[in-house]
A and B are shown apart, each in its own frame.
Chain A
Amino acid sequence: MADLDNVPGNLLRKPSGKQEDELERAASTYKPLHSFRLAKEKSYQQQFADMYFLRLTKIRPAVEQIASEAWADTVIGGEEVKQVDRVLDIRQGELCWVVGTVYMEMALKPNIMEDVSKDRWISAPTSTNKYWSEEGDAVTLEDESGRIRLVGDALRSVFLVTGCIIAVMGTENANGELEVIDLKFPNLPPQPDRWAVSKPPGANGAAKTKTKDEDEEMTGTQTKGSGGKIAIVSGLGFSGSDASHAIELNLLLEYLLGEALDPSTQQELSQISRLIIAGNSISLDERKPEAEQQTEKKTNKKYGYDASSYNAQPSQLLDEFLATLLPTMPVTLLPGAQDPANSSYPQQPIHAAMFPGARAYTALPTSNDVGWFDNVTNPWEGEVDGWRVLGTGGQNLDDVFKYVDSEDRLGMMEAMCRWRCCAPTAPDTLWAYPFQDDDPFVMKACPHLYFVGCQPEFGTKVIVGPDAQSVRLITVPSFNATKEIVLVDSETLDVTRVKIAVS
């Protein structure tokens, strides 16, 4: 049987008798940024118009600069291109360019005005897959002064959704619409260097001061950190009733703990330094059929809801999963569309009271430290192993998906980066908090890694910007459907996909 023993990766072998080395997990350098945290006392008295104003004011300088550089000396048909300040200043026959916010008028989009006017006759809202339709869609450009409709072939080649800020060059035609000749986006924002916010782990624990060529130094001295990986998973979907992927969840736990597979693979697994859960950890239970509800006798409704219909099992299962994993690996938990967090963007962290077991690993509420179990907001920005990471639970990409006639989700993620806005459709069709002082969805700094969770399938791409920015885009598939997780190398930002299957 010596052959079997020598086959690598084969678990069917005699005990070797020698002491195996203890594997140690790679450490993770981590610093979350609280860009999307809301104050505890939130006021909802304000209107949403402030958000659009803030977005336009913050992004307008960048677009104007790009547009004026591109179109400054353009002469088309003997006419020079001029900038106009307001959308309504465009005159017929004059060639000009203007900056504004895009607004899409779509027939299939849920319209609050129609809902309010049909107050008594409203039926249950039907959720359509896409708002986009062949006819009946109008792209308009809007700013503080007014709105003008855009037409032209140049619009067909780009993604446009409500809320993105663009510069448009064209002229007004006879119908009062702006014929678009050229479009410019703000493009990627400036990208911070690696290790901009947190300090890299020094060779002997001494933190070095930041120098230009620090990256080269660090990879030489780091032995444990190099080759570290970040695991990203989403859509775990713990459920009280649906156990179709329970085995895979268990195997995932064993995989992450390093209990599965053989020692050589476990050596690789010990490099996984952090797990990021990107939404939908708890799945909504399907509603009970109508007949069953009617035959039940009147249930006792205390505090206005029926307490006996609440099933605590999903959150208990999630808590067990986390409590088993946390002693060995730090976890960052983003809420998703189906998680017990608030439903409007940005979702606030899931309260630690939901996790009686894993709660021990969170930081104290009053301290500034970060515990191994970090409940964070959705969307979330932070620095992991020096790389600036932006992650969301999927609602922003799903909403943008409904607006465009395309299935290319990575292309939409790239478009969001180039628009400098990670949730442009908020607050139009994506419910959002009415921000009044600052719009946090505007990307001030370009992330190195941008991931979106709860997507139907895995995809990854690297995009580059005009100032040598490069962003790695990842769509993380839902685990309950695809049984896949994503591993990101923390030195090169290469991505591997791991599928857990029971064969």
Chain B
Amino acid sequence: MPPSRRSTRSSQAGGKQATLSFHNRVTKSGAQPGKKDLISSTTPTKASPLSKQISRSEDEPVAEKQDPKVSVEEQEDGHEDAAAAAPVEQEQEPEAQSEAELRARDITDRQISAYWNRLERERTAKRVHQQDLSLAEKVLRYFDVSSQYGPCVGMSRMKRWQRADKLGLNPPPEVLAVLMKEEEKGTKGIEAAHMDQILNSTAVGAN
């Protein structure tokens, strides 16, 4: 007699063995904004200095995450707490970054739009195809194509600004202000350059 095929019959009958499911698949870039939302939702409760230290020490390789954490916590504690927290810092770099970020935080929306109008006045013709973009996105896209700060592909915008600052290229602080404001608002898609997102999207069905 041929061996009984119990396995196939039971799966056909919908037996005890569970079928594989792909619903809880880990997404790639979608997961990160969710993580940021989690942080911003927990910070309204008063964070102890110890938690500041812990959250600053973790995620060290992920440099881009470091900056939004520092900025978000400092915002709710105010400048004087930030100065007190500075000795608590473990590395020197977040302290220096927070200085640039503090200065950028003082930049108001009016200054940002004044900066943008200055740039627009240098052009002889109006910009086309940018009508449905917010002012923030326009400022950031102009920063992306400014090649004196390096290529915009392959790097998040915040990291690129930090790198330009470290190399002494004097990137405009208004761009940093826009980046931080957009992160607080939780706008999706401003983290990486738009060109980067286009280039990295994989086309299914090619080849």
Contact = CB atoms under 8 A, between A and B. Distances in A.
Interface of A: 39, 41, 45-47, 49-50, 53-54, 57-58, 144-145, 436-437
Given A39-B61, A41-B61, A437-B163, A50 B169 contact: no
A50 B167 contact: no
Interface string B125-156: 00000000000000000000001101101110
Q: How large is the interface on B (under 10, 10 to 19, 20 to 34, 35 or more residues)?
A: 10 to 19
Given A39-B61, A41-B61, A144-B147, A57 B155 contact: no
A259 B189 CA distance: 69
Contact of A57 (B61, B154, B167): B167
A143 B27 CA distance: 38
B169 A45 contact: no
B151 A47 contact: yes
Interface string B47-71: 0000000000000010000000000
B146 to A, nearest CB: 10
Contacts of B163: 436-437
A47 B166 CA distance: 20
B167 to A, nearest CB: 5
A49 B151 contact: yes
A53 B150 contact: yes
Contacts of B153: 47, 49
Contacts of B150: 49-50, 53-54, 57
Contacts of B147: 144-145
Given A144-B147, A144-B148, A47 B154 contact: yes
Contact of B167 (A45, A58, A144): A58
B200 to A, nearest CB: 8
Contact of B155 (A39, A58, A436): A436
Contacts of A437: 163, 166
B151 A57 contact: no
B151 A53 contact: yes
A48 to B, nearest CB: 9
Going nearest first, the 5 A-B pairs with the smallest beta carbon separation are A46-B154, A144-B147, A53-B150, A49-B151, A47-B154
B61 A50 contact: no
Given A46-B154, A54-B150, 11 more contacts: A41-B61, A45-B154, A47-B154, A49-B150, A49-B153, A54-B167, A57-B169, A144-B147, A144-B148, A145-B147, A437-B163
Contacts of B155: 46, 50, 436
Tell me the dominant secondary structure on chain B's binding face: loop
B24 to A, nearest CB: 25
Contacts of A41: 61
Nearest to A39: B61
Nearest to A145: B147
Contacts of A49: 150-151, 153-154
29 contacts: A39-B61, A41-B61, A45-B154, A46-B154, A46-B155, A47-B151, A47-B153, A47-B154, A49-B150, A49-B151, A49-B153, A49-B154, A50-B150, A50-B154, A50-B155, A53-B150, A53-B151, A54-B150, A54-B167, A57-B150, A57-B169, A58-B167, A144-B147, A145-B147, A436-B154, A436-B155, A436-B163, A437-B163, A437-B166
A58 B168 CA distance: 10
B203 to A, nearest CB: 17
B156 to A, nearest CB: 11
A41 B151 CA distance: 23
Nearest to B153: A47
Nearest to B167: A57
Nearest to A85: B148
Contacts of B61: 39, 41
Contacts of A39: 61
Contacts of A58: 167
Interface in B150-174: 150-151, 153-155, 163, 166-167, 169
Contacts of A436: 154-155, 163
Interface in B56-94: 61
Contacts of B166: 437
Contacts of B169: 57
A166 B117 CA distance: 37
B206 to A, nearest CB: 14
B186 to A, nearest CB: 24
Contacts of B151: 47, 49-50, 53
A437 B163 CA distance: 7
Nearest to B149: A53
A39 to B, nearest CB: 7
A282 B196 CA distance: 43
A253 B8 CA distance: 68
A46 B153 CA distance: 8
A479 B69 CA distance: 55
B183 to A, nearest CB: 21
A399 B68 CA distance: 43
Between A49, A54, A57, A58, the greatest number of chain B beta carbons within 10 A of the residue's beta carbon is seen for A57
Nearest to B200: A45
B173 to A, nearest CB: 19
Nearest to B61: A41
A144 B145 CA distance: 11
